[in-house]
Amino acid sequence: MRRRLIQNILITGLLVIGLVPLVHAGDQDKTPASRGIVLTIAAIDPKTATATLKTPDGGEAFQTTAYASWKVGDKVECDLVRADRVQELHDCKPWS
C-alpha cells in the first residue's frame, strides 16, 4: 500500500514538473522585429565575397555576402532584423 502511494506521488510530481516549462514558454516574446530597408551597394570585396551596403542618408553601413550579379551603385532591399541589440541583414534582393 505504501509503495503504491509513493509511486502515485512521484508520477504526479513528475507530471506537474514536466508541465512547468510549457507554462513559461508562452511568456517569452523574443521574436526579433524586422523591417524592410533599401540600401546602396557602396563596395564589393571580391577576395572575401562581401559587400558593404549603406543607407541612403549614409548614416549606417552593413556588411553581407555579395552575389555575383551585384554591382557597386545598385540598390538592394533587405530585411533588417534586430536581435539582442544587434542588427543583421537577411534575405537581400535587387530592388527595382
All structural domains of the chain with their residue ranges: 33-94
pLDDT in tens, 23-48: 555 555 565 577 888 999 999 998 99
pTM: 0.62
pLDDT at 74: 92
Q: Residue 23: in which H helix or E strand, if any?
A: helix 2-25
Q: Which residue has the cell 571580391?
A: 46
- Which residues touch 10 (CB under 8 Å, ≥6 apart)? none
User: Which grid coordinates belong to 27?
Assistant: 511568456
The CA-CA-CA angle for residues 67, 69, 70, to 5°, reads 70
| CA-only gyration radius of the chain, Å | 25
Q: Which CATH number fits domain 33-94: 1.10.287.3510, 3.20.20.140, 3.40.50.80, 2.40.50.140?
A: 2.40.50.140
Spatial CA neighbour of 89 closest among 72, 73, 76: 76
